[in-house]
C-alpha cells in the first residue's frame, strides 16, 4: 500500500483550503456578530498570483472606523494590484485570532495582515509556523524576519485634535473616552491633552476608559461609550473626543442628545462620512484620521515587489499618516492654527508625548 505523509506546512495548507472552501459554501451558518466572518471580498477566481488575506479586529468590517479603514486598503489592493483578497473577522471575544491567521496562511494567502495590536502574539507565533509567508500587523512593531509592523503617530494627530477642540470650546471643558486602557489608546489621550493644554493652559479635560488593559470589549460597547460621554456633557464639557472603536457610536449619540453646542470628535476614519445617521453626522466636529488604508496598501504593494519583513514603518504627520478631517467645514475658522501646530510638530519644535 502506498502511504503519503504530509509535513506540518502541507497539512496546514490542506486544512486551510478545506476550511475556506467550506466557508465559501455557507458552512458557517448565520451565527451573527460572534461568528467568524469569512466574507466574500473577492475570494473567487484570482486575477493575479497575488493573494492577500486580512484578519479584522473585534468589530469586524462595518465598524465605520479602524477596521473599515484597513478594508479600504485591501480593496485598493484588489482594484489597483489585481489581487485576490479574503477578509475574516474574529468571534466576539477575539479568541480565535490565531486560527484566522492560520486559515489564511494554510489556504495560500501571502501576504497576510492582522488588524490591531491585539494580534501581536498571534502574528509572532503564526509567522514562525509559516516562515515563507509575509505578515503585517497594524499598531504593533515587527516581531520577526517575515513580519512588518505598521504603526501610526496617533499622539501627533490627537495633538491637532486637542488644538482644534480647545479653540472651538465655549465652556473651556473637554472630554476624552478611550475604549481600552492600553498603551496604544493612551497615546491618543496624551496627544489630545497636550494639544489642548498648549493652546489653553487652563482648559479642563475629563478622561474615561471603558475597560482595563486586556479587556477588548471596550471597543464594542456603545452603551458604555454613551454613558461615559453623557456624564462629561452633564458636567460641562462641550466637546468629547473618542478613541473607542464601535463604542464611539455611543459618544456620538450622547453629543446629539446633549443639544446645541455639543460636539464629538471621531477617530481613525472620517466618521462624519462613514456614520449613516444624518443626525450624528452633524455633531461630528472633525475626526482624527489614521491612514490605515494607506499602510495596508503600501505593505501589500511592497510585498508584491518582493520586500521582506523585519522592520517597523511609522506613519506620522510628515508621512501624512495621521491628520484631521474637514468634512462639514466645522474647523475652518481654526485651520490656520491647526496647520501651524502641524508644521511645528514636523519640524521638531513641538515634541508630543506618547504617554499621559
Supply the pLDDT for residue 267. 95
Same fold for the domain at 42-152+293-315 and the one at 154-290+326-347?
A: yes
Three cell numbers, residue 109 = 494567502
How do the pLDDT tens digits run along the chain, 356 residues long?
333 333 444 444 434 443 444 333 333 333 333 334 444 444 444 446 899 999 999 888 887 778 999 999 999 999 999 999 999 999 988 899 999 999 999 999 999 999 999 999 999 999 999 999 999 999 999 999 999 999 999 999 999 999 999 999 999 999 999 999 999 999 999 999 999 999 999 999 999 999 999 999 999 999 999 999 999 999 999 999 999 999 999 999 999 999 999 999 999 999 999 998 999 999 999 999 999 999 999 999 999 999 999 999 999 999 999 999 999 999 999 999 999 999 999 999 999 999 99
Q: Are 192 and 178 in contact (CB under 8 A)?
A: no
Please compute Rg for the chain using Cα positions.
Answer: 21
pTM across the whole model: 0.81
Tell which CATH architecture fits domain 154-290+326-347. Answer: 3-Layer(aba) Sandwich (3.40)
Domain ranges across the chain = 42-152+293-315, 154-290+326-347
What per-residue string of b and e applies to 143-160 under the rule 16 or more CB within 10 Å gives b? bbebbbbbbbbbbbbbbb
Q: Can you read off the three cell numbers belonging to residue 145?
A: 524576519
CATH 3.30.70.100 corresponds to the domain 42-152+293-315: no
- Give the whole-angstrom CA distance, residue 122 versus residue 127: 8
Amino acid at each position: 500500500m502506498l502511504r503519503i505523509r504530509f509535513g506540518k506546512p502541507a497539512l496546514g495548507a490542506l486544512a486551510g483550503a478545506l476550511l475556506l472552501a467550506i466557508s465559501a459554501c455557507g458552512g458557517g451558518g448565520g451565527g451573527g456578530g460572534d461568528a467568524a466572518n469569512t466574507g466574500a471580498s473577492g475570494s473567487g477566481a484570482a486575477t493575479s498570483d497575488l493573494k492577500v488575506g486580512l484578519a479584522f479586529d473585534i468589530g469586524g468590517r462595518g465598524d465605520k472606523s479602524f477596521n473599515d479603514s484597513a478594508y479600504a486598503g485591501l480593496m485598493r489592493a484588489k482594484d489597483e494590484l489585481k489581487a485576490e483578497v479574503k477578509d475574516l473577522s474574529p468571534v466576539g471575544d477575539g479568541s480565535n485570532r490565531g486560527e484566522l491567521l492560520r486559515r489564511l496562511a494554510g489556504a495560500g494567502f501571502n501576504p497576510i495582515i492582522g488588524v490591531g495590536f491585539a494580534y501581536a502574539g498571534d502574528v509572532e507565533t503564526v509567522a514562525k509556523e509559516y516562515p515563507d509567508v509575509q505578515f503585517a500587523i497594524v499598531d504593533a512593531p515587527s516581531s520577526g524576519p517575515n513580519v512588518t509592523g505598521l504603526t501610526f503617530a496617533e499622539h501627533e494627530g490627537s495633538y491637532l485634535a486637542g488644538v482644534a477642540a480647545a479653540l472651538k470650546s465655549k465652556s473651556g471643558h473637554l472630554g476624552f473616552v478611550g475604549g481600552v486602557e492600553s498603551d496604544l489608546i493612551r497615546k491618543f489621550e496624551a496627544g489630545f491633552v497636550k494639544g489642548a493644554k498648549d493652546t489653553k493652559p487652563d482648559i479642563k479635560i475629563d478622561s474615561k476608559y471603558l475597560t482595563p488593559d486586556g479587556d477588548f470589549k471596550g471597543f464594542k460597547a456603545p452603551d458604555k461609550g454613551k454613558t461615559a460621554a453623557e456624564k462629561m456633557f452633564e458636567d460641562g464639557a462641550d466637546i468629547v473626543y473618542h478613541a473607542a472603536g464601535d463604542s464611539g457610536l455611543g459618544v456620538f449619540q450622547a453629543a446629539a442628545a446633549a443639544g446645541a453646542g455639543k460636539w464629538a470628535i471621531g477617530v481613525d476614519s472620517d466618521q462624519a462620512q462613514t456614520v449613516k445617521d444624518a443626525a450624528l453626522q452633524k455633531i461630528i466636529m472633525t475626526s482624527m484620521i489614521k491612514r490605515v488604508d494607506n499602510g495596508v496598501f503600501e505593505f501589500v504593494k511592497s510585498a508584491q515587489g518582493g520586500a521582506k519583513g523585519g522592520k517597523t514603518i511609522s506613519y506620522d504627520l510628515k508621512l501624512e499618516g495621521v491628520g484631521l478631517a474637514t468634512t462639514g467645514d466645522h474647523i475652518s475658522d481654526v485651520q490656520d492654527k491647526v496647520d501651524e501646530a502641524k508644521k511645528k510638530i514636523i519640524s521638531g519644535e513641538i515634541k508630543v508625548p506618547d504617554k499621559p
